[in-house]
């Protein structure tokens, strides 16, 4: 099965509602960028690359709205829409990367009519979507080469097709390993509080007939201690210039456990997830989410009323605990500052030749 979290047809954005999976497979349609911003906030769509691609389509919808309203000076309205979309989720840098790319495309359209700009911005969003799938496939192949055959991979949250425009980053590595003929099994952490591992990773792997075993988060230590896990592979929401990586809360303890048990710990992320402007993990903004995500399970309260809650959505794994960062341009190893910059420069050089 090909999971298609984000679809654009005839000027309408369609998102697979990830808050309902796996019990319901429902698509929602969007023609208003404000509703798109709300969908990102409420995690109808989630995962750093998927958020970026969705926001890009949001900008295209805003441009069309301005065109339909007969706007002659469309740029101020477009910038307001970009600000609304940027205010949704602070950690996933792909959101800001995609919005900057849409802003740069808008700069090139200065002097054009709103209708011309709307068509060109829809094409730009489509290019971002297609590039993400292509990057994931290349990244997957680089990562698959690091895995033994047979192998068992432990992963956290969902860095799969659902979290991207398709194919996935961490799960792209798993898919590529399987496609290359390797026998691969996955151990998926359930990923409290929103259960992206149980609801999304387990679902998309099972749909693709990839062997997956679900564990609760507090079982990961025992699972690694018993042996037989060959690698921990996770995605990232933002990788700082020095290689520190923000990912779903609970990733950092996995990296500590992997180090303790001599298991390689890989981050799989496209270069659009690397924030070269942020020197280290200390500069990565960490999203705090609603307390109800912790006090409630599937709408049912499981904690005392009025209890104090801390609910950071992400943690930061120090570069020193990361064995390698797998990107579409190749595999970076410590020291990450130089290695990531070299991969970025090589990718940019290859792009300018094309
Ligand atoms: O809060 P979420 O579900 O958006 O968090 C997602 C993650 O932490 C993913 O691992 C990350 O965005 C990488 S997705 C390829």
Question: What are the residue ranges spanned by the domains of the chain?
Answer: 6-136, 141-353
Strand 12-16 versus strand 6-9 pairing type: antiparallel
Looking from the CA of 112 toward its CB, the CA atoms found within 13 Å total 17
Distance from C-alpha of 157 to C-alpha of 195, rounded to nearest angstrom: 7
Give 50 Cα–ligand 1 centroid separation in angstroms: 9
10 is catalytic: no
- Res. 244: pLDDT tops 90: yes
Secondary element (H or E) of residue 170: helix 170-179
1 or 175, higher pLDDT: 175
Matching CATH number, 6-136, of 3.40.50.10890, 1.20.120.420, 2.30.140.10, 3.40.50.800: 1.20.120.420
Give me the pLDDT at residue 192, please. Answer: 97
In Å, what is the CA distance from 259 to each residue of 20, 151, 163, 233, 275? Answer: 35, 18, 26, 13, 25
User: In the structure, which protein residues have their CB atom closer than 6 angstroms to any atom of ligand 1?
Assistant: 46-49, 92, 157, 159, 163-164, 169, 196, 235-237, 247-248, 313
Pick from 75-79, 105-109, 347-351: least confident: 347-351
Residue 351: band (very low, low, confident or very high) from pLDDT cuts 50, 70, 90: confident
Give me the pLDDT at residue 185, please. Answer: 98
Query: What percentage of the chain has pLDDT greater than the value 70?
Result: 100
pLDDT tens digits for 193-207?
999 999 999 999 999
Backbone angles phi, psi at 152, to 5 degrees: -120, 125
Give 308 Cα–ligand 1 centroid separation in angstroms: 25
Distance from C-alpha of 127 to C-alpha of 131, rounded to nearest angstrom: 6
Residue in 15, 17, 92 to alter for ligand 1 test, most ligand atoms within 8 A of Cβ: 92
Residue 51 alpha carbon, nearest atom of ligand 1:
4
pLDDT tens digits for 24-63?
999 999 999 999 999 999 999 999 999 999 999 999 999 9
Selecting among 132, 189, 217, 237, the annotated active-site residue is 237
Query: What percentage of the chain has pLDDT greater than the value 90?
Result: 97
DSSP code per residue over 186-246:
EEEE--TTTTHIIIIIHHHHHHTT-EEEEE-GGGHHHHHHTS---EEEE--SEEETTS-EE
- Res. 153: pLDDT tops 70: yes
Are residues 339 and 272 in contact, defined by beta-carbon separation less than 8 angstroms? no
pLDDT tens digits for 204-231?
999 999 999 999 999 999 999 999 999 9
Distance from C-alpha of 76 to C-alpha of 56, rounded to nearest angstrom: 17
Are residues 246 and 237 in contact, defined by beta-carbon separation less than 8 angstroms? yes
Give 315 Cα–ligand 1 centroid separation in angstroms: 11
Give 28 Cα–ligand 1 centroid separation in angstroms: 20
Distance from C-alpha of 174 to C-alpha of 168, rounded to nearest angstrom: 9
Give me the pLDDT at residue 2, please. Answer: 74
CATH topology for the 141-353 domain: Rossmann fold (3.40.50)
Give me the pLDDT at residue 1, please. Answer: 55
Give me the pLDDT at residue 329, please. Answer: 98
Return the structure tokens found at 71: 């706007």
Average pLDDT, the chain: 97
Return the structure tokens found at 203: 């679902």
Give the residue-averaged pLDDT of 311-321: 98
- Res. 234: pLDDT tops 80: yes
Among 53, 40, 50, which residue's Cα sits nearest to residue 85?
Answer: 40
* Domain pair 6-136 / 141-353, same fold: no
Residue in 50, 52, 159 to alter for ligand 1 test, most ligand atoms within 8 A of Cβ: 159
Residue 99: band (very low, low, confident or very high) from pLDDT cuts 50, 70, 90: very high
Residue 156 alpha carbon, nearest atom of ligand 1:
10
């Amino acid at each position: 099965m090909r999971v298609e979290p984000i679809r654009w047809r005839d000027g309408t954005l369609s998102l697979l509602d990830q808050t309902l999976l796996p019990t319901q497979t429902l698509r929602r349609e969007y023609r208003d960028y404000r509703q798109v911003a709300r969908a990102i906030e409420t995690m109808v769509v989630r995962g750093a690359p998927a958020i970026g691609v969705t926001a890009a389509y949001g900008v295209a919808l805003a441009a069309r709205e301005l065109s339909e309203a007969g706007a002659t000076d469309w740029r101020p309205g477009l910038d307001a829409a970009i600000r609304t979309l940027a205010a949704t989720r602070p950690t996933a840098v792909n959101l800001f990367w995609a919005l900057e790319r849409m802003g740069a495309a808008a700069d090139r359209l200065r002097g054009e009519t709103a209708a011309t700009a709307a068509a060109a911005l829809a094409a730009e969003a489509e290019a971002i979507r297609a590039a993400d799938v292509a990057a994931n496939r290349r990244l997957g192949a680089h990562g698959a080469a690091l895995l033994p055959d047979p192998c068992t991979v432990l992963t956290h949250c969902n860095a799969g097709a659902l979290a991207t425009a398709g194919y996935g980053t961490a799960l792209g590595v798993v898919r590529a390993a399987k496609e290359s003929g390797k026998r691969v099994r996955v151990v998926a952490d359930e990923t409290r509080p929103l259960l992206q591992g149980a609801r999304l990773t387990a679902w998309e792997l099972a749909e693709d007939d990839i062997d997956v075993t679900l564990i609760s988060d507090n079982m990961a230590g025992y699972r690694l201690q018993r042996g037989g896990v060959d690698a921990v592979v996770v995605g990232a929401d933002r990788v700082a210039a020095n290689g520190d990586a923000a990912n779903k809360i609970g990733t950092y303890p996995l990296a500590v456990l992997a180090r303790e048990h001599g298991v390689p710990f890989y981050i799989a992320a496209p270069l659009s997830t690397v924030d070269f402007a942020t020197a280290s993990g200390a500069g990565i903004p960490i999203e705090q989410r609603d307390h109800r995500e912790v006090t409630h399970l599937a709408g049912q309260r499981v904690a005392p009323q009025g209890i104090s809650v801390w609910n950071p959505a992400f943690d930061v794994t120090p570069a020193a605990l990361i064995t390698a960062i797998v990107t579409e341009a190749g595999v970076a190893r410590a020291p990450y500052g130089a290695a990531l910059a070299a991969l970025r420069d090589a990718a940019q050089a290859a792009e300018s030749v094309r």
